[in-house]
A and B are shown apart, each in its own frame.
Chain A
Amino acid sequence: MEQTKRLTIALAGNPNSGKTTIFNSLTGSRQHVGNYPGVTVEKKEGQFTHKGITVKVIDLPGTYSLSAYSAEELITRNFIIEEKPDVIVNVIDASNIERNLYFTVQLMELGVPMLAVFNMVDDAKAKGIEFDYKKVKELLGAEVVQTVGNKGSGMAELLDAIIRTTESTNNKIEKHSVHYGKELEFEINKIKGMLITSENIEEKYKSRWLAIKLLENDQEIKKTITSDRINTVVREGEERLRSIFNDDPEIIVADSRYGFISGICREAIKTTIEARRSMSDKIDMVLTNRLLGLPIFFALMYMVFELTFTVGGPPMDLIDNFFGWLGGTIESFWPKGSESILKALLVEGVIGGVGGVVIFLPNILLLFLAIAVLEDTGYMARVAFIMDRVMHKIGLHGKSFIPMLIGFGCSVPAILATRTLENKRDRLTTMLVAPLMSCGARLPIYTLFIPIFFPTKWNGLVMWIIYFIGITLAILCAKLLRSTLFKGETTAFVMELPPYRIPTARSVFIHMWERGWLYLKKAGTVILGISIILWVMTTYPQKKVFSKNYDKMNTQAQMKYFDSIKKLNADLHLDNNSTVILDAIKTEKEMMDTQAKFHKNENGFVKASEAKAVKIAQLISSSKDGKILKAFLKTRDDIKKAMLKFNDSVKEIKRGTPEYIVMENGLNNRLNKIKNINKDVYYKVVLKFIENIEEPYLEKIKSITQSKQAEQIAFSVSGRIGKSLEPLLKPMGFNWKVGTALIGAFAAKEVFVAQMGVVYSVGNADENSESLRERIKKDYTPLAGFCIMLFCLISAPCMATIAATKRESNSWGWAIFQLLSLTILAYVVTVAVYQLGILFSIGV
């Protein structure tokens, strides 16, 4: 029965012939993208079922030829020869038949079962090209199907033809092949004869094809021939041909193929309309215009950048919130305040780490959406052309520009974007230098440091200098790499400018999703591992005995707090030894201490607040000063409520903006109301309590906790590494605290600021915390501060970048090379700057 029959087909053809569109139409969403072993060329596989037959489809990379000059060509050729697919579906752009048939002719020579798909026949028709399909079929010796890939027409015929081609076992293909002329045919036959008699030749190659390839000087094929006798004959043949034609044999072979194709075109193709200026030409007149080309390009790039990072913002917040919620939910499985290692690992290590990666997903999806549109419309080829001169000067390809630009947002999508580069040398160079484009996550570091050491009017300039240093280093490194590791003739810039086309939503979305999914799957697993390691490093070993008695410090702070509250009695016209207020505050504190042990939805939490309410009510009713207490508490709650509301509403608003002033006025109005209702006396005392007693106490407690944390960090592996690195860090002007923060920065650059906050043990270490700035200022000179920024700019990119490099270069080697070389570069540059600065006493 046919039910169990399985077929394998491969799609092959020129770039821009619409192969992938056909592939998507055939397989729908049942596809899988991987890499060919050892190379960065994508391998796309999918399958479909037609008439009970399951057909596996492979989308081979687009190539112009079956020679062995590029990875794509070699992959295509080896796949066809070694995997022997049941049918090669040759997708041909019908509107550009001559060049496309060059590939077809080579397939014919290979003698594989083939099916010719004339794609985009609507375009051909519009160009006035008409085919005599019967004749074409005869001349190619293969079935011919007409399709319009982006409209999906002709797909049913294609499916039938695929099955038909596999059923007809006797192929007539070999009958119709190029005749190379008397002299070449003589050499071909001579070599062919020797190949047939030679026994070491594997039968997978057709001997005629092999003979032609040998004459074409195909290095890969030549490697397989060990017989000296054959090699000599080939060499002699080459010489003879060169003396006759005054050119290399491969050129004569190519010439004959084009001659054969011209024959096909003469016999089977009729051009009815005189070629006129097409739509595509008109678009090109604008987009590659000498004056408008660059501005349009920059405008489009700006849009891509905006789309990636601005539109990506809200979904990133959503993902962030989701992981926050997830962490909270998982935390609630344990009793509050539990010190379970598993809980900490899950919440801080796993969720924190994975969340930090997944958060880039909107960026990546949007970026690839934009790139897919740019590529599918045909604009990308023009970008490469427009930017080639500039990029060429620094040893890169025109297409390298896009990844470099994206690098200002985030290195991870930048490295993923190097996929658009065909040449491996160009791709690796771009990948390795892309992290030098200062990414968005490094911005908080600069905004923390710059205002500490530089006057306000210089802030912008210093920021610009930092970015400029990054760009300059990227250029220098690219040049260096191109002249050492990736030496070699700069790839000849020959490229087809495909006609502009409207991309199909389907192919754009498939493209986008594939990339996103790959990112999640591969980078995710690597990053998960590294984030767990980093978490362990900053958490263990745990310190049991601390240098100071932090509990005692807490108790002392609390005693001082209570004393200060007692002193309020005078202001409230209470007896000096009255304890009503203090008792009430103590009751509230008790409640909070109890509640800290429970989750909000737990019984104990509610019970504690009920107990407090009862106790306070008792205090009010039993004491002679109950009334005063009641008024005090009410005023305090009212003021706090007003302040909370204000803080909530100005969270997203900048100070000094009109909206901010409106909110500020609202707060003042509310406060005035409270002032008037509750008589001035309570209002003033309560303000004094909040501002001079409660807040300093809370700050004190926080700083005690953070000092304890800082001691813990210093004790942990990463703290110890930081300390042991100190001799190395000294020449750059760093102390161990920076070292420890740098280890955290490897997880994600923005962690640096938070880590600095922790090691400097000040609360709430966001970029604006003044106290952190003050402490840093005490520890470092402006020169050292600048050096810290410099080091953060150049040094080891974050682990997500390393993971992306590993994935894109398909080797740990390059990822580690990137990590080490950038770190060494950062070290050398920073040491040089610091030492020179010291020498000339600049900024010390």
Chain B
Amino acid sequence: MTNTDRPPIPLMMAEQDTEVEIIEIKGGRELKSRLSVMGLLPGVVVKIIKKYHTCGYVLMVKNSKVVLGRGMIQKIMVR
């Protein structure tokens, strides 16, 4: 699935029901840290369970469902 040649895209652009690898999180240290305790950090593979264009995305991260608000899904770069 993951192809190292492809440039990273924002999580927002990723397809539903696909698995993507987090490449980078654009944000401050606090934000990154907060995300990391939820298991969201570079190198982690997440599955996009459902995309709600109004509210945000539901992801499967390390066996738990996590929702990300709209702001977040633009800041996370995936491949």
Interface residues of A (CB under 8 A from B): 64-65, 67, 69, 95-99, 102, 216-217, 247-248, 250-251, 254-255, 258, 284, 288, 290, 381, 385-386, 388-389, 392, 490, 492-499
Contact = CB atoms under 8 A, between A and B. Distances in A.
A494 B65 contact: no
B67 A251 contact: no
Contacts, number: 109
B5 interface: no
Given A96-B64, A98-B39, A99-B64, 4 more contacts: A288-B52, A388-B56, A492-B35, A499-B65
B64 A389 contact: no
Nearest to A129: B63
A488 to B, nearest CB: 11
Nearest to B54: A389
A254 B36 contact: yes
A258 B52 contact: no
Contacts of A97: 63
Contacts of B67: 381, 385, 493-497
Contact of B41 (A65, A251, A498): A251
Given A217-B29, A247-B42, A385-B56, A497 B66 contact: yes
A812 B44 CA distance: 46
Contact of B31 (A96, A102, A386, A492): A492
A493 B62 contact: no
Contact of A250 (B33, B38, B39, B50): B33
Given A251-B36, A389-B55, A493 B43 contact: no
Q: Closest 5 interchain pairs by CB? A: A493-B69, A65-B37, A497-B65, A254-B36, A98-B62
Contact of B36 (A250, A381, A388, A499): A250
A254 B65 contact: no
A217 B39 CA distance: 19
Contact of B70 (A247, A251, A389, A499): A389
Contact of A255 (B38, B41, B56): B41
A682 B69 CA distance: 82
A69 B33 contact: yes
Nearest to B53: A290
B39 to A, nearest CB: 5
**Most central of B35, B38, B63 by chain A CB within 10 Å:** B63
Nearest to B35: A494
24 contacts: A65-B37, A96-B64, A98-B39, A98-B62, A99-B62, A217-B29, A217-B33, A247-B42, A250-B29, A250-B32, A255-B42, A258-B41, A258-B44, A284-B58, A288-B58, A381-B67, A386-B55, A392-B69, A493-B56, A494-B35, A494-B38, A494-B69, A494-B72, A496-B66
Given A64-B38, A251-B41, A497 B58 contact: yes
A98 B29 contact: no
Contact of A251 (B32, B54, B72): B32
B26 interface: no
Nearest to A390: B54
B53 to A, nearest CB: 9
A816 to B, nearest CB: 32
Contacts of A284: 58, 65
Nearest to B73: A493
Nearest to A259: B43
Contacts of A392: 69
Nearest to B75: A492
Interface class of chain B by DSSP: mixed
A290 B29 contact: no
B33 A493 contact: no
A418 B3 CA distance: 46
Interface residues of B, number: 35
A388 B33 contact: no
Nearest to B40: A494
Contact of A248 (B29, B40, B64): B29
Contact of A388 (B29, B35, B43, B69): B69
Given A96-B64, A288-B50, A494 B55 contact: no
Given A251-B42, A388-B56, A497-B58, A69 B30 contact: yes
Contacts of A251: 32-33, 36, 41-42
Contact of A493 (B40, B44, B64, B72): B72
Given A217-B29, A248-B32, A389-B55, A494 B42 contact: no
B7 interface: no
B63 to A, nearest CB: 5
Nearest to A97: B63
Contact of B34 (A102, A290, A492): A492
A290 B38 CA distance: 25
Contacts of B64: 96, 99, 496-498
B55 A388 contact: yes
Contact of A67 (B33, B39, B52, B58): B33
Contacts of A250: 29, 32-33, 36
A381 B64 CA distance: 13
Nearest to B55: A389
Contact of A494 (B43, B62, B63, B68): B68
Contacts of A388: 55-56, 69
Nearest to A378: B65
B69 to A, nearest CB: 3
Contact of B69 (A65, A99, A217, A492): A492
B63 A99 contact: yes
Contacts of A248: 29, 32
Nearest to A285: B50
Contact of B38 (A99, A217, A381, A386): A99
Contacts of A386: 55
A386 B69 CA distance: 11
A253 to B, nearest CB: 9
A494 B40 CA distance: 10
A425 to B, nearest CB: 14
Given A97-B63, A217-B29, A492-B34, A254 B68 contact: no
B72 to A, nearest CB: 6
B29 A67 contact: no
A95 B62 CA distance: 11
A498 B35 CA distance: 17
Contacts of A65: 37
A574 to B, nearest CB: 85
A518 to B, nearest CB: 30
Contacts of B61: 99
B59 to A, nearest CB: 10
A482 to B, nearest CB: 15
A388 B54 CA distance: 9
Nearest to A102: B37
Contacts of B44: 258
Contacts of B70: 389, 493
B71 A67 contact: no
Given A69-B30, A389-B55, A494 B41 contact: no
A56 B33 CA distance: 33
B65 A492 contact: no
Residue of A247, A248, A250, A254 with highest tally of chain B CB at under 10 A = A254
Contacts of B66: 494-497
B13 to A, nearest CB: 19
A600 B39 CA distance: 74
Interface string B1-45: 000000000000000000000000001011111111111111110
Given A254-B41, A255-B43, A388-B69, A494 B36 contact: no
